Amino acid sequence: MALDSYVGLGRSGLKVSPFCLGAMNFGEDGGFGCTVEEAEKILQAYLDRGGNFVDTANFYTNGHSEAILGDFLAARPGVRDRLVLATKFYGNLHLGDPNGGGASRKAIIGQLEDSLRRLRTDYIDLYWLHNHDRSTPVEETLRTLDDLVTAGKIRYVGFSDTPAWFTAKAHTTALLRDWTPVTALQMEYSLLERTIEGELIPLAQDTGMGVLAWSPLKSGYLSGKYRRGRATSADVRRAAVLGQPSDVQFTVIEALATVAEATGASPAAVALAWLRDRPGVSSTIIGPRTLEHFEANLAGLDVRLTPEQTATLDEVSAPTLNFPYDLNQRVGRMLKYAGATVDGEPSAVYPPLLASAVRY
């Protein structure tokens, strides 16, 4: 597989690379990002490999991330229209202004105009709501976004980091009002964060939303740098903020290292390959800070895990999901099929049930 092995973003007509280039680390504002020069090297390498999907947000590195992208694309006429360019709204860059962030009509329009200016473009391909705004009616947000689609300033609408109930409500409201629906979800997903499998992944699959996974290496925990008993990672600054993995997380990290050794690939590449093949996932965000990191991440496109290796990683990283997921899984088939075999899978018999006759 390669970056130019494009996939559909859910059931939409939009085609994107299997790895999306995340620009959260573009710019040194905040202390963890990369220089403009390094960011442009990464961008060019991504384009040279056939990548077409770039994701940022209005507040990444205080707006510098968007500005870096805008300057890069402005210097290369014709490239912008070949890209699927995504950014987000919600983050407030105006200290003391209660209307500077969130998902109100005023906030959305103001944030979009600022993003368009920094990105030096007149439209955004995929515009993400970055968080759940509890103080703004969802109808206000959706109608504003639909107006912007009609005006040609955005093409598609996505939701990032929003609860499943809210996302389902928003999507249904949009369909009923004949407004632009939610095309994709951007959610944290990795071997160390699988709880979206309870409700958000099934929601996406049922509605045809594409899923874009962020933090696939869990902030570097799955990169291969962490070992049980070692005090810090190779990135001391980041480790000081994030801390060390827990004992449970180290169990997953060690299992990943074992599978990686068997495949001859890095733990990072194996973690990315596992996520690439998860049901519902359209694309995965990689967020390199160096060209070296970018090249290492691309190796995840070439790794092919055996069913046994996938099962090992599935089992060791199995999440505890919110009620009623476990109840549905444990007793759903038993109560529904009462011992019958359906689709090649047998069901158990509810113990009190007498299979020989219906008593009442």
**What positions carry a catalytic annotation?**
60
Q: Give the separation between CA 158 and CA 181, rounded to whole angstroms.
A: 9
Q: Give the separation between CA 297 and CA 232, rounded to whole angstroms.
A: 22
The residue type at 115 = S
SS3 content of the chain, % helix, strand, coil (to 5): 40, 15, 40
Q: Give the separation between CA 289 and CA 32, rounded to whole angstroms.
A: 8
Beta-bridged to residue 86, according to DSSP, are 55, 126
Q: What is residue 111's three-state secondary structure?
A: helix
**Residue 212 near residue 184, CB atoms below 8 Å:** yes
**Residue 34 near residue 25, CB atoms below 8 Å:** yes
Give the β-pairing of 341-342 and 19-22.
Answer: unpaired
The torsion angles phi and psi of 266, rounded to 5 degrees, stand at -75, 155
Tokens standing for residue 107: 């906030």
Q: Give the separation between CA 189 and CA 215, rounded to whole angstroms.
A: 7
Q: Give the separation between CA 108 and CA 89, rounded to whole angstroms.
A: 7
Residue 63: closest CA among 113, 13, 7, 125: 113
